[in-house]
Amino acid sequence: MFDRLPEYPWEQLKPYAAKAALHPGGAVDLSVGSPVDPTPSIIQDALNAASNAPGYPSTGGSPEFKAAVVEWFARRRGVAGLKPEQVMPTIGSKELISWLPLLMGLGPGDAVVQPRNAYTAYVVGAALCGAEIISEDDPAKWPSNTKLVWVNSPGNPDGRVMDVPELRAAVERARELGALLASDECYAELGWGRWAQELIPSVLDPRVCGESHEGVLAVYSLSKQSNLAGYRAAFAVGEAGLIKALVNLRMHSGLNTPGPIQKVMAVALADEDHVAVEREIYRERRDVLLAAVKDYGFELSESEAGLYLWATLGQDCWKTVDEMAQLGIVVVPGIFYGDAGKNYVRFSITATDEKVAEAAKRLREAARVKRD
């Protein structure tokens, strides 16, 4: 009854974390994408100011919160003209991702599509309702029984960014199938290279979905850009009828985002300064780690945005995980994200400056030994 899901994959990393801890300098854990920097003071102050909240919060979201999301999408995502009734808050993004297939009424015989390299929550959502999971990036290969399509741009684990033509092709195919196209976009403010200068496209962009948001849903989280993982601060935006139906189901289920968190999100979305500061912190950490990873001999794939380096030594991922553990570095095996990642590992840049610098030092030293 309670065994529909396998053991949480990170349990398999424990032996390697234990091996890494035996390093004379201790372990450097680059496996988890959890923010470590302080929550900005402007947000902490907003939470304090909103802490008197004796009544139940609005499941659909407060007017202030919804207005802030609408304004932010116009300013930062290139999506103007949204209506407040197209917005709803969620309790973190993973909650909605994991429960969306069940909320949609999917079950055996239905297919849920995810990327070939996929964040682990998509398959969980399919498993919870008994739907089939399909890992496929090519819209032409999505089966006729597809009811929900997940795209993830920028992607976790691979940092892949889908441009406007790619997203448009996905939307067109999903509409052809009568499926909901849900886009997980939570790293959109963390672009590198080209995407440090250009806005990363949203599925709600009119260049992608035309003048209608029918059949599309954008999911977003402030965990990364605002260091709010502990607040579970996120939201979803889509066609008004879809949002109304989801809000109704969530009201029945008691899935309410706390009122103080809705207030915090409104404040966080209105302030670009703290996001720019955190983006620069991550850019510096990424530059340090990227150089060392390449020096060691890794080849990078995608990694255009987000908080991870998707890298390979051309060997089985578990062999690489063990090799890194011998250096006292913990990384994630790519197989956690699907068979396409079996020769890759994921490095996270969310560790402290000191930890990232230490990992880079160990990689460079090991690279010198290999060359000698």
H helix intervals, 50-161:
63-76, 93-103, 121-129
Q: Is 310 helix (H, G, I), strand (E, B) or coil?
A: strand
**CATH 3.90.1150.10 domain extents, the chain:** 9-38+274-371
Q: What is the pLDDT of residues 245-270, one digit of tens each?
A: 999 999 999 999 999 999 999 999 99
**Number of other residues whose CB lies within 10 A of the CB of residue 80:** 12
As a whole number, mean pLDDT of residues 230-249 equals 97
Q: Is the preceding omega at residue 154 within 30 degrees of 0, hence cis?
A: yes
| pTM value surpassing 0.85 | yes
Fold held by 41-271: Aspartate Aminotransferase; domain 2 (3.40.640)
**CATH 3.40.640.10 domain extents, the chain:** 41-271
Provide the token pair at 201: 């496209």
Q: Does residue 175 surpass a pLDDT of 90?
A: yes
For residue 181, what are the CA distances in angstroms to 172, 242, 325?
9, 12, 39
Strands 132-135 and 111-114, bridge-based pairing = parallel
CA separation for the pair 183, 171 (Å, rounded): 10
Q: What is the pLDDT of residues 273-322, one digit of tens each?
A: 999 999 999 999 999 999 999 999 999 999 999 999 999 999 999 999 99
CA separation for the pair 10, 329 (Å, rounded): 15
Residues 6+ apart with CB under 8 A from 284: 353
For residue 307, what are the CA distances in angstroms to 25, 33, 162, 220, 303?
24, 7, 16, 15, 8
Give the residue from 97, 158, 155, 168 showing the smallest Cα distance to 129: 97
The half-sphere exposure of 280 on its side-chain side, counting CA atoms within 13 A, is 6
Q: Determine whether domain 9-38+274-371 maps to CATH 3.40.50.1980.
A: no
B/e letters for 157-171, b = 16+ CB within 10 Å, e = fewer, are: bbbbbbeeebbbebb
CA separation for the pair 113, 122 (Å, rounded): 8
For residue 342, the model assigns a pLDDT of 98
For residue 9, the model assigns a pLDDT of 80
User: What one-letter code names the amino acid at 243?
Assistant: I
For residue 2, the model assigns a pLDDT of 60
